[in-house]
Amino acid sequence: MIQIMLSRWRQGHRTLPYPKELPPLPPRLRGLPRVGKGACPPDCRGCAEACPTQAIEAGPEGPRFDLGRCLFCLDCTGICPKGALHFSPDHRLATRTREDLLLKGDEELRHAEALEGEPLSIFRDSLKLRVVSAGGCNGCEVDTNVLGTLAWDLGRFGIQFVASPRHADGMLLCGPVTANMELAVRKTYDAIPDPKLVIAIGACAISGGPYRHQEEQLGGTSSVVPVDLFVPGCPPHPLTILDGLLRLQDKVRD
């Protein structure tokens, strides 16, 4: 027992300091895509044709991105003849509306804004979420679950995952919502007492992901229930998810 206590004392405080301080991020982190201003040839369509989910639209003023469809796969950066397109280390990707995920390569993303009025007063210090896996690959679920570990300690912000929608303030949904999961999603949403939130995590939950044209799925959360927070990625980094949740609670501002 003494050795265990000594080991814990040597390790010190292990919880990440975010949001007071940005923790070290891996160099391979794929954040907000950017295009060098004036570096993209007006007639080039390479990135748009290489994108597997049609998340890029080529234009005379450069490419337009749909972050809700983007898989952050790097197919577009590898084919760019000028090397103008890259993914920045900016982890702040969450937005309050689907339209805010549509932007030009050099355009600034409008980050998620805090809740207002009664919802903010209710959820600022206590937010219970029911996680629903609606037909995804489990990638988003894994990075969501990471937030409950010692290093992230989601509970210190008053945010917890609960087992029943009747104990929840909102639903955190992963996956494209397959036809077989539609009824379950609707019943979960109806069982959550008002006021309530819906958070879509990842490309599948936002737009249907790489298989959005398949008839077996419904194309994302918005096709079934209204969404209050969109967190793009495939899957999103845990810090991206946490940043979006804290912005809802008005605990992170730019």
Are the beta carbons of 33 and 84 closer than 8 angstroms?
no
With 0-12 / 13-18 / 19 or more C-beta atoms within 10 angstroms meaning exposed / middle / buried, residue 102 is middle
Q: If pLDDT is split at 50, 70 and 90, which confidence band does 60 have?
A: confident
For residue 239, the number of C-alpha atoms closer than 13 Å in the C-beta half-sphere is: 18
- Mean pLDDT across 222-241: 97
- Mean pLDDT across 23-31: 89
Handedness of CA 78, 81, 83, 89 (dihedral sign): negative
Rounded CA separation 242/18 (Å) = 9
Q: How far is CA 172 from the centre of its chain?
A: 11
- Mean pLDDT across 58-66: 84
Q: Tell whether pTM > 0.75.
A: yes
Phi, psi dihedrals of residue 117, rounded to the nearest 5°: 60, -135
Q: Domain 117-248 maps to which CATH number in 3.90.45.10, 3.40.640.10, 3.40.50.10860, 3.40.50.12280?
A: 3.40.50.12280
Handedness of CA 220, 224, 226, 228 (dihedral sign): negative
Does residue 105 register a pLDDT over 80?
Answer: no
As a whole-number percent, the residues of the chain with pLDDT over 90 amount to: 71
**What is the overall mean pLDDT for the chain?**
91
Q: How far is CA 157 from the centre of its chain?
A: 18
Are the beta carbons of 248 and 242 closer than 8 angstroms?
no
Q: How far is CA 237 from the centre of its chain?
A: 8
Candidate from 38-42, 141-145, 153-157 with smallest mean pLDDT: 38-42
Rounded CA separation 164/130 (Å) = 7
